[in-house]
Amino acid sequence: MTAAPLVETATPLVEARNAGLSYATRRGPITAVDAVSLQIAPGECVAICGRSGSGKSTLLALLGGLCAPTTGHVFFSGRPWTSLRGHETQAARAEQIGFLPQESVLLPGLRVLDNVMLPQLIAGRSREAACARAESLLARVGLFERWDAYPAELSGGQQRRVALARALATEPRLLLADEPTNDLDALAEQEIVRILADVKAAGTTAIVVVTHDPAVAAIADRRLWMECGRLMAAAAQPVIERPAFERPTSSTNEPADSQAAAFELPPAALIPQLPTVESTGWWRTAIPFVLGLGVAAVALGGIDRFVARRQQQVVETIRQQRRLAEEMALQDLRADVDDVATAGGGAFTATLFLENFRPDRELYVLGPATGVAVQRGGRWESLPTATGPAAAAEEIREVAADRLLIPVAFTLPDGPYDELLRGYVHVRISAAMVVSDRGDGEGDLFERSDAYFIYLRDPRLTEDDIRAANGWAAKAAVPLWIAMPAH
Ligand code: ADP
Ligand code: MG
């Protein structure tokens, strides 16, 4: 495979014109990118190879407008990055550029699906659209099944695929990928190569990929070599072969020579003799790391702020909904004992009522599940309830202004009972229900548990017994039941 000639297009998607970037360091300026001129056509795929420290990551950052050149210009869609206003730069980056940095930038606290949805939400897409696109991208990178995994639950290769899905989430016009197969095993590498080849074949996204990997370089239309911040076409240079044991075992169908040709060196005369990393002090190795961290931090900082804002909004919405549900459950919904009747022989039916105090707001209940207990020996003893409260508990019912009546039948067992009032049995009726503003179970739910306490006339005693025991007048009424305040 021979490298295509440098393309001169009328409207390059991205163009560097004599662009350079020097870092000011304690030891004087370091020129990371030196007067680079480069045009990338829409849909074109360009691989940039070169030794570590040759300026590849910095060039990617320049192309993507992540940093401004200290000399020359970088244009995106014909406009210099530096001429765009802050929000235009952000919008262009968010919507038109997918960035796959060297370091993993998946947010550890978000699931895979949310990570892929995120750039789309930032770009202003609806949740539904973002979710649908994220799902199809996850399917494309073979991780649909893992949509709810957190990044830490994935292998390095899987994380890289998710990061690639995320970089493609907004259907960007330009994908900038920095060593996408670095540190991956042969199989994971093949997966990434396959995805990149698919993206290239689709033709709508231009790719600039920094790589040491012949398999990645092989899919590019053009391969360029970077050395000491300068860029050159890698057309007629000698071939670097990866040692055989590093080769992916059964990667692509391409002939072996096409992979080998992808990895080329400039003529020896063009390679200045650089001091080795070891001899230049710790800062030389620290600097790319710091730059990487800086770029990641800028990207993550923006994303994190966005996530924080979204989470704030979500939390606030949930709070409001809960307040509403709580208000409905506690205030709009009135519930209490409506009446108690006796069928004789210790059999009673207590009727509870539910009532919507604010009928302009719809109110539904699931339940109530009811229970009855009687106080004996200082403890509450549950009684079986004869009507099936479970049947009512499984239904969602609307509560309107008219009272909804819930009968609860029970039979008092034989005494003795604890008597707080002589001749009366202390009974607790409980009702637990879920309250919602919607009848389909989809609304916000709030649980409400009530306990109603009543004194119930001991069925074994006559009215006169009770009057006598309490010292009441002969004509005094002896009610069947007396409602007690909640306690
Ligand atoms: P590559 O990606 O090819 O390894 P980089 O673009 O990361 O190269 O770095 C190019 C050169 O710029 C290196 O010499 C590196 O030490 C230097 N450099 C990178 N980032 C910084 C920085 N933030 N401050 C100072 N020098 C830096
Ligand atoms: Mg780099």
Residue 25 tokens, joined: 């360091």
Does the domain spanning 331-484 belong to CATH 3.30.450? no
Q: State residue 455 phi and psi, 5-degree precision.
A: -100, 130
Share of the chain above pLDDT 90, in %: 40
Ligand nearest to the CA of 287: 1
Residue closest by Cα to atom 13 of ligand 1:
53
Lowest-confidence pick of 206-215, 250-259, 447-456: 250-259
- Going from the Cα of 228 to the center of ligand 2, the distance in angstroms, rounded, reads 13
Higher-confidence position of 447 and 203: 203
Q: Which residues pair with 48 in a beta bridge?
A: 210, 224
User: What's the mean per-residue pLDDT of the chain?
Assistant: 79
20 lines ligand 1 (CB under 6 A): no
Ordered alpha helix ranges (H), 366-425: 389-393
Higher-confidence position of 21 and 286: 21
Residue ranges with CB less than 5 Å from ion ligand 2: 57
56 lines ligand 1 (CB under 6 A): yes
57 lines ligand 1 (CB under 6 A): yes
Query: Which CATH class name applies to 14-250?
Result: alpha beta
52 lines ligand 1 (CB under 6 A): yes
Rounded-to-integer distance, Cα 324 and Cα 333, Å: 12
Q: What is the pLDDT of residues 9-48, one digit of tens each?
A: 468 999 999 999 998 888 888 999 999 999 999 999 999 9
Query: What's the pLDDT at 88?
Result: 79
pLDDT surpasses 80 at 280: no
Query: What's the pLDDT at 312?
Result: 59
Rounded-to-integer distance, Cα 181 and Cα 216, Å: 8
Q: What is the pLDDT of residues 304-317, one digit of tens each?
A: 566 656 655 655 66
- Sheet with 222-227, side-by-side order of all strands: 97-100, 174-178, 206-210, 45-50, 222-227, 230-233
Lowest-confidence pick of 89-98, 295-304, 367-376: 295-304
* Domain positions in the chain: 14-250, 284-290+297-328, 331-484
pLDDT surpasses 50 at 261: no
Question: Residue 294: which pLDDT band, with cuts at 50, 70 and 90?
Answer: low
* Residue of 276, 287, 295, 298 best suited for mutating to test ligand 1, as the one with most atoms within 8 Å of CB: 287
- Going from the Cα of 40 to the center of ligand 1, the distance in angstroms, rounded, reads 22
Question: Residue 234: which pLDDT band, with cuts at 50, 70 and 90?
Answer: low
Ligand nearest to the CA of 288: 1
Residue whose entry in the numeric block shows the structure tokens 């990149």: 196
